[in-house]
Structure 1
Amino acid sequence: MKFIDFFERAYVINLPERVDRRKGMEKELKRFEMSFEPGKIELFSAIRPDSAGPFKSIGYRGVFLSHLSILKQARELKLDNVLVMEDDLEFSENFCEYEESLIEQLQKTNWDIVQFGYFPEKNSELPTGSKLATYQPFTGDLIGTHFYAVNSKVFDKLIGFFETLLERPAGHPEGGPMSPDGVLNIFSRQNQDTVRLIPTPSFGGQRSSRSDCHTDLKWFDNLPISRQLVTVARDLGLVQKMKNILKK
């Protein structure tokens, strides 16, 4: 079974004005014989709030609400599972080789949440597998909700947790408004009966592009005339080289 066939629905979160990211994601999907298709892999118009509210930025609030809305939609449609991707996802080079193995193992495994792509937090020890595409239960801290899946049996509990965080003030000791990756970390710790899996190694990174989540956008990202040139430069890896030079 192909990887995408296992999931009832897949969503790619994308701000409508970020045509660059949408096109980049189209290319990324095409690399692995996938494409946008109604009822299978759909674009989800990311929510863009008018204010940051209790969040660090408008972007953080928007991505939180976007992930929550997808989960609610999946529950409303009574889907068995849902795959969530952000529009800067970059599949690992060995994804194609192991995609069938990833699904074969998942079919035989009890799971609630799987983070196919992730980055370890500082001081967070990741399990080591004896071979590629081996799932491991994980309750530590990870960065990244750019490539993950949720099983329907945990929809209610996870949606309820998202909504509870919205009702709390920022900095609440049990969790308040935060990024979606923080939500999954705290949810996992506070719900030990939830099976959260990660494959070793990670099968999805993130393409370099201007972020809409952070308030510290660089000067060249805020100039409309230069954005297209910066996008091309990022694709060529030139932006990171410029940053490294400026740090010296």
Structure 2
Amino acid sequence: MGQANSSLRETFDRVVCINLDRRPDRWKEFIDQLSAIEWPFADVQRFRAIDGDRVGSPDWVQCGNGAWGCFMSHLRILEEALLDGVTSLLILEDDLCFAPDFRQRAMEFLGRVPSNWDGLLLGGQHLMRPHYVSDGVVRVLNGNRTHAHALQGRYIRAAYQHLCNFAEHLLAPSHHVDHRLGTLHLRGDYNIYAPNPWLVGQAAGSSDITGREESFRKWDNSIRVPSQNEPQLDKNALELAERIPLIVLMGPYRSGCGLAAGVLSQLGGYRGNVDNPYMEDRDLRDLCRSCFTEPALTEHVPSRGRVRLLRNWLSQHRLDAARRNHPFAIVKHPLLSLMGRDLVDVCKDNVQFVSVQRALEESVRSLQAMEWPTFRVGAKEAQERLLAARDTFLDEHKHHVITFDDLRGNPMDAATQLADIAGVIPTEEQLKMACAYVNASRTSAIQLQAG
């Protein structure tokens, strides 16, 4: 045990906790927690937080003075670490809350985490489903929150330089420091790991960043760990998964892709983890929105990173379709109009692209009628860019065309056409269900306006 304790103390060269001068109460609560859990790492240094309310923030910042102060505090900590030659760094925020068994679980996690780690997220929120690495360890694709995170080696400089890229920050002026670091995670150049479940949450109380009273927060890792009793796919099943055809529906917002996806699902297609009426897989939606900001459609992840993310998601999507005995899998999100070439790099073949077409003016009016906060401005510009990107890509690639008017006006013929594209022979009952789905959409305001 003595050797284990010594090893833990040497895990990080420096440990700092960010604390405002005007919050001595927070510092006392933090110190009390360290004693209660028998803090296993190096002694914690208090970092005098930059008080955004006192120093103010640039005019372009839209996240508030508190968030700006937090951003600059993290940036300053990284800068000092680089100047001092620190090779491993643990950054804490004073509103954290340790798990009661933190010491033991931290030891177990560090014993299991791959030695090639660049960053560790001890607490936080996954904006994209992480990848299972081993029992108790996941790899982070896009992590949020900075109340307990570690950096090592090259990643300290990379994070510092990334946060210093204010030209990119200007494109997303409402981003907090954790959002900015999340875009670095997405590039896939660094190995970021997290414990499953989390070791650290955020305590209840008044937030110095948002100014709101926050409840205790300890986010679900959203990672599905395989059960020992779950049947595993053998080699033949894995090969079968690779043969699952993909039907990629391409079109801007409110173009009818959701309606087409609904019809395809009635014909046996696998939709994925759909949690909204637009027939979008949750993880694919998060992936797309992490790569491009809505509505400006600013690129946050370069093509190489997008290919990696899409490959991982599509592999799991096909695997799930094979497990559930679906003959094909549906892929749908408006931002895929910007990622056609990325999809080709991933899929190579066994993929059918379908252009779902609706008059631009109609789709813009429908989008504006939805009154989504994201598209209060810039709706037309976003639609025009998505449409142009899709058509430019499809001009160079084999594809099929189906129109919104056909889907709504003649659902039987449209369903038959989509079945032919998917390579399936639908039953009479499936065709009836597909038509019923379209007809039911007429009574839904959401589907009625956009499909």
TM-score, with length taken from structure 1: 0.75
The residue that corresponds to 1:135 in the other structure is 137
Match of 2:178 among 178, 181, 201: 181
Out of 197-206 and 94-103, give the one that drifted further.
Answer: 94-103
Letter matched to residue 113 of structure 1: G
The residue that corresponds to 2:48 in the other structure is 45
Which residues in structure 2 correspond to 1:87-98 (within 5 Å)?
A: 87-98=94-105
RMSD: 2.6
Tell me, what secondary structure is at the counterpart of 2:205?
Answer: coil
Letter matched to residue 167 of structure 1: A
Output the CA distance in 1 between the equivalents of 2:198 and 2:37.
Answer: 17
Change in Cα spacing, 1:157 to 1:35, as seen in structure 2 (3 Å) is closer
Output the CA distance in 1 between the equivalents of 2:120 and 2:66.
Answer: 24
The residue that corresponds to 1:211 in the other structure is 207
Letter matched to residue 73 of structure 1: E
Conservation of the 8 A alpha-carbon contact between 2:130 and 2:139: no
Letter matched to residue 167 of structure 2: E
Change in Cα spacing, 1:26 to 1:119, as seen in structure 2 (3 Å) is same
Please give the per-residue CA displacement for 1:202-233, whole angstroms capped at 9, x wherever unaligned.
Answer: 11001112111115x46xx9xxxxxxxxxxxx
**Higher RCO (C-alpha under 8 Å, 6+ residues apart):** 1
Conservation of the 8 A alpha-carbon contact between 1:168 and 1:177: no
Please give the per-residue CA displacement for 1:170-192, whole angstroms capped at 9, x wherever unaligned.
Answer: 4x1xx5562121122101113x2
Match of 1:117 among 112, 120, 123: 123
Runs of 5+ consecutive residues of structure 1 not aligned to the other structure: 222-233, 236-248
Letter matched to residue 47 of structure 2: F
The alpha-carbon deviation at position 125 of structure 1 amounts to: 2.4
Tell me, what secondary structure is at the counterpart of 2:206?
Answer: coil
Which residues in structure 2 correspond to 1:24-63 (within 5 Å)?
A: 24-34=29-39, 40-49=43-52, 50-53=55-58, 54-63=61-70
Change in Cα spacing, 1:207 to 1:105, as seen in structure 2 (3 Å) is same
Match of 2:18 among 13, 18, 23: 13
Change in Cα spacing, 1:74 to 1:63, as seen in structure 2 (3 Å) is same
Output the CA distance in 1 between the equivalents of 2:81 and 2:39.
Answer: 21
Conservation of the 8 A alpha-carbon contact between 1:127 and 1:200: no
Out of 111-120 and 48-57, give the one that drifted further.
Answer: 48-57
Conservation of the 8 A alpha-carbon contact between 1:81 and 1:150: yes
Tell me, what secondary structure is at the counterpart of 1:82?
Answer: strand
Conservation of the 8 A alpha-carbon contact between 1:129 and 1:200: no
Tell me, what secondary structure is at the counterpart of 1:6?
Answer: coil
Q: Does 1:78 align with 2:89?
A: no
Which residues in structure 2 correspond to 1:150-165 (within 5 Å)?
A: 150-164=151-165
Change in Cα spacing, 1:4 to 1:36, as seen in structure 2 (3 Å) is closer
Output the CA distance in 1 between the equivalents of 2:191 and 2:133.
Answer: 18
Runs of 5+ consecutive residues of structure 2 not aligned to the other structure: 217-451
Tell me, what secondary structure is at the counterpart of 2:138?
Answer: strand
The residue that corresponds to 2:167 in the other structure is 167
Q: Does 1:201 align with 2:197?
A: yes
Please give the per-residue CA displacement for 1:138-190, whole angstroms capped at 9, x wherever unaligned.
Answer: 213x33110010002222221111000x23464x1xx5562121122101113
Conservation of the 8 A alpha-carbon contact between 2:126 and 2:144: yes
Output the CA distance in 2 between the equivalents of 1:149 and 1:130.
Answer: 20
TM-score, with length taken from structure 2: 0.42
The alpha-carbon deviation at position 87 of structure 1 amounts to: 0.2
Letter matched to residue 88 of structure 2: N
The alpha-carbon deviation at position 9 of structure 1 amounts to: 0.7
Output the CA distance in 2 between the equivalents of 1:154 and 1:128.
Answer: 22
The residue that corresponds to 2:375 in the other structure is none
Task: Give the % identical residues.
Answer: 23
Letter matched to residue 154 of structure 1: Y
Output the CA distance in 1 between the equivalents of 2:133 and 2:57.
Answer: 40
Tell me, what secondary structure is at the counterpart of 2:46?
Answer: strand
Over alpha carbons, which structure has the higher Rg? 2
Letter matched to residue 125 of structure 2: F
Letter matched to residue 27 of structure 2: R
The residue that corresponds to 1:101 in the other structure is 108
Conservation of the 8 A alpha-carbon contact between 1:47 and 1:63: yes
